[in-house]
Structure 1
Amino acid sequence: MSLIVLSIPLFFVLMGLEWLAGRLRGRRVFRGPDVFANLSLGAAQTVFTTVAGGLLAGAYVLLYSVRLFDIPTSSAWAWALLLLGTDFCYYWFHRVSHRTHLGWAAHAPHHQSEDFNLSVALRQGPVQPFFSRAFYLPLALLGFPPAMFATAVALNTLYQFWVHTELIDRLGPLEWVFVTPSHHRVHHACNGRYLDKNHGAMLIVWDRLFGTFESEREPVVYGTVKPANTFNPLRAAWMPFQTALSLVRQTPRLRDKLRFWFMPPGWHPPGVEAPPMDEVSSRPRFEVRPSHRRVLYLSGVGVLTLLVTVLFLFRGASLAWPVKLAFAAWFLASLGGLGGVLEGRRWAPWVEASRITVLPLALLAG
């Protein structure tokens, strides 16, 4: 079973401690609608990874079958090199995901939150693993066994959880080697000087070596340059692709339509007018104020949906493909329906009624 799934209870304990620390300092660390969107998007990525687990692992296993070396899993040096190699590969995945339209469309949901707390660490682009896993394939060719690699990636991911907080200040000499909350606050900023900086996961040395390092010098404005302005996780996940596809449809030449996906997000094809982009130094955060009835519904049904999803994640490896796909469809409806209720959409009750009707089937799948 995945170390990430096993760590879910710990994530919630640490989020509770962050909330308590914020209260003691007189700070509001969490906003309910934002936390809902963050957890929903995190669950979506985990669900999709569970459904497509064999597909994602297949390329790694295939390359490992023609590996250059046999690396022993019992060697401490092998583990140290693998952790270093995993972090290096992650740096380049992360940098490319900020510098290409294709990568950014998959990664952007992680940056849409206008808050910065531990729940944001769980907010992920649902389809991002289909893009990120390609960057780790050289490790298979070198001979790192698949199970060993899976553990290293999980440890790399778990490290990144704690750096999503405003409550930890700079950490002295550690700032020179390791990624810290201060470094990652810069990474999540949409201030002009902070854009596309500090891509490292565990080690900040890659950013220092390759010219993408920036220290925290001015107040941070969180979110994307063009704000998402939604707490509906399904809409938030689709929005970057919708924007990209709209630009591709407007692009006159086929060559530019293809080139578009590999160009930086700020690049606009010839013949397509670029919208004005102002420098972001401050802006109000997007808000929704649901009624007490909607809050009660979201609290009860949302928690039930999350519990069913966690149950599915624990059993996912043993379930048949049709069951996994059926659950994924139900889960997508859950994201859209609950997000619609949160934002007061008229169609949301119909979606919720439909998916709750088939909830017993989802429980059987879970």
Structure 2
Amino acid sequence: MRLITLSIPLFFVLMGIEWLAGRLRNRRVFRGPDVFANLSLGSAQTVFNVVAVGLLAGAYVALYEHRLFDIPSSALAWTGLMLGVDFAYYWFHRASHRMNLAWAAHAPHHQSEDYNLAVALRQGPIQPLFSRVFYLPLAWLGFSPVMFATAAGLNTLYQFWVHTELIGKLGPLEWVLSTPSHHRVHHACNGRYLDKNHGGILIIWDRLFGTFEPEVEPVTYGTVKQVRTFNPLLAAITPFRELAALSWKAPRPLDKLKVWFMPPEWRPAGVDAPASEPVAGRARFDVPIPRRVALYVGIVGVLTLLLTVLFLGRGASLPLPSRLAFAAWFLASMGGLGGVLEGRRWGRWVEAVRLAAAPFVVALL
């Protein structure tokens, strides 16, 4: 977590380089509303990590107390740990595409219909509740929490650069590493590309376990069903709301439960699948943004993100009530700014309330 926080300036430098490279190629790499949603959702996950730090780290630490071995730091240990983290990440990532509840937590990362470095920062806010489970065997084996946190951070940092359209195929590296080409396939909603290329650093897991697919046709990004909003709070909630609606429709009690654990394409008996819509080449969701609205969301959004970075630096030392208060304020920021961006009348009221609360939030920090 600390490693990711320290890397935030580098993320923005690289995004600036990508924007400049796109301009030189006469390509529009970023769209403002999408970047806002991406950064807000990424920040939401980091805020959740700070609020739930005891819960997320507690299970690993508890299992480490019953470890099989004491594994000291060494080149061999770090190599084994990096491979172990990447292997666990592959199975988490694959499972998160094949079980509805985990997919609902992971889906926000795939909702963007653009593909750029800002998308790398777009994450499901509560996804760590699912991903951390897959790493627990590493604690039982004897990799210390500090070693694991560093290895997991490095694994996450590697994945940042593969979220771009401006880097083509990389020759022999394509056989071993997860590359931008491989990950473009993963973010596609084209039929042949669905649920492919789950690797974090290495693509060898996909090649070994039958989930590899090369990039051979133009990619359409996003989820099969468009989320159709730039409001990050709505984007995070929508997958869970749709699952709850599907569970409610299921006639049989057992199916109401099964909905949450079956693959996304599964439908309960008596519930028709929605009519399929063409995906390849579909128009990206967009909304007209008046200049004054874009200016407001840009300035206030940046100030909110700066305050969030301050919270990330100090959050672990804050009492739980203060962390929860900041999280509530940040959720209001996501919803309010998103509402203003899309011209929702209630957005102004939410913004007025949360701006009035901002001095109290600053005092907490």
1:58-137 pair list within 5 angstroms: 58-73=58-73, 75-137=74-136
How far did residue 309 of structure 1 move? Answer: 0.7
Kindly indicate whether the alpha-carbon contact (under 8 Å) linking 1:338 and 1:352 is maintained by their aligned counterparts in 2. yes
How far did residue 289 of structure 1 move? Answer: 1.5
Distance 1:56 1:126 in 2: 13
- C-alpha RMSD of matched pairs (Å): 0.8
> Which residue of structure 1 lines up, in the alignment, with residue 140 of structure 2?
141
**Which runs of at least 4 in structure 1 moved beyond 4 Å after TM superposition?**
none
> Which residue of structure 2 lines up, in the alignment, with residue 161 of structure 1?
160
> Which residue of structure 1 lines up, in the alignment, with residue 23 of structure 2?
23
One-letter amino acid of the counterpart of residue 118, structure 1: L
1:313-352 pair list within 5 angstroms: 313-352=312-351
Q: Render the CA deviation track for 1:318-337: whole Å, top value 9, x for unaligned.
A: 11100000000000000000
Kindly indicate whether the alpha-carbon contact (under 8 Å) linking 1:178 and 1:203 is maintained by their aligned counterparts in 2. yes
How far did residue 46 of structure 1 move? Answer: 0.3
> Which residue of structure 2 lines up, in the alignment, with residue 36 of structure 1?
36
How far did residue 185 of structure 1 move? Answer: 0.2
Percent of residue pairs identical: 72
One-letter amino acid of the counterpart of residue 64, structure 2: Y
Normalised to the residue count of structure 1, the TM-score between the two structures is 0.99
Distance 2:81 2:254 in 1: 39
How far did residue 205 of structure 1 move? Answer: 0.1
Distance 2:31 2:306 in 1: 21
Does residue 223 of structure 1 match 2:222?
yes
One-letter amino acid of the counterpart of residue 262, structure 1: F
Kindly indicate whether the alpha-carbon contact (under 8 Å) linking 1:44 and 1:126 is maintained by their aligned counterparts in 2. yes
Instruction: Please list every run of 5 or more consecutive structure 1 residues that lacks an aligned counterpart in the other structure.
Output: none
Distance 1:135 1:217 in 2: 31
1:255-334 pair list within 5 angstroms: 255-334=254-333
How far did residue 142 of structure 1 move? Answer: 0.5
How far did residue 279 of structure 1 move? Answer: 4.4
One-letter amino acid of the counterpart of residue 11, structure 2: F
Kindly indicate whether the alpha-carbon contact (under 8 Å) linking 1:116 and 1:222 is maintained by their aligned counterparts in 2. yes
Counterpart secondary structure, 2:97: helix
Instruction: Please list every run of 5 or more consecutive structure 2 residues that lacks an aligned counterpart in the other structure.
Output: none
Kindly indicate whether the alpha-carbon contact (under 8 Å) linking 1:308 and 1:362 is maintained by their aligned counterparts in 2. no
Normalised to the residue count of structure 2, the TM-score between the two structures is 0.99
Query: Number of residues paired by the alignment?
Result: 365
Kindly indicate whether the alpha-carbon contact (under 8 Å) linking 1:312 and 1:365 is maintained by their aligned counterparts in 2. no
Q: Render the CA deviation track for 1:206-226: whole Å, top value 9, x for unaligned.
A: 000000000000000000000
One-letter amino acid of the counterpart of residue 37, structure 1: A
One-letter amino acid of the counterpart of residue 332, structure 2: A
One-letter amino acid of the counterpart of residue 56, structure 1: L
